[in-house]
Amino acid sequence: MPGPTADLFAEDALRQPAGREQIGEQSYVLRGYALPWVERLLPELRRVLAQSPFRQMVTPGGFTMSAALSSCGDLGWTTDSSGYRYTPLDPRSQQPWPRMPGVLRELAVLAAAEAGFLDFTPDACLINRYVPGAKMSLHQDKNERRYSEPVVSLSLGLPAVFLFGGHARSDKTRKVSLFHGDVVVWGGVDRLRFHGVMPIKDGVHPVMGPQRINLTLRTAG
């Protein structure tokens, strides 16, 4: 991950937080919300990934996911032939997942409140790395024990097209363009909506390089 410099941040410095865009009854995109936090967040992200590097996980059906994954927090999400689940240990190292950075937790709690969800208490952060061509199929976030808390999703790096569907896989999806620093929050009646990511297009972001990193915070336990 390239290190931040004044020149690298020039492009994103031109983008200022642009308010709240509603994409569902209780779902919002907070445009550029994380930009003021990025310089503090990236060193913490590097620390997390040094302890639990990205890896390609395999679904219970034997499909290797195109997005590479890691986690931080009290619980981390994992998948293998045994199924989808949260675990307190990184299955690669058999050590606890890295602690969730305080700056990341604070950002997520404030973003959730901005979207109308007060007292968000995330204990898990799933970190996905998308290189050009990588995608995420439509799915629901339903491995968590409580659906009363929202999902907070932060985009860094290359642009992505977020697919936001309904409560059935066959429902029509809305295409939402996401950029570096955007935060998506969904919960309440929208908590179990299907969602995914279209294949990432070729490109090189001036801060993050040829990749998109997505941090998704949830209350899993």
pTM beyond 0.85, yes or no: yes
**Structure confidence at residue 94 (pLDDT):** 96
> What pLDDT digit, counting tens, does each position of 27-71 carry?
999 999 999 999 999 999 999 999 999 999 999 888 899 999 999
Whole-angstrom distance between the N-terminal and C-terminal Cα of the chain?
Answer: 31
**Structure confidence at residue 13 (pLDDT):** 42
For residue 62, which amino acid is it? G
**Structure confidence at residue 81 (pLDDT):** 86
**Structure confidence at residue 214 (pLDDT):** 98
**Structure confidence at residue 82 (pLDDT):** 86
Largest CA distance in the chain: 46
Low-confidence ranges of the chain (pLDDT < 70): 1-18
Domains of the chain: 10-218 (2.60.120.590)
Measure the CA–CA gap between 157 and 106, rounded to whole angstroms. Answer: 21
Specify which residues 186 forms β-bridges with.
27, 151
> What pLDDT digit, counting tens, does each position of 104-113 carry?
999 999 999 9
**Structure confidence at residue 17 (pLDDT):** 56
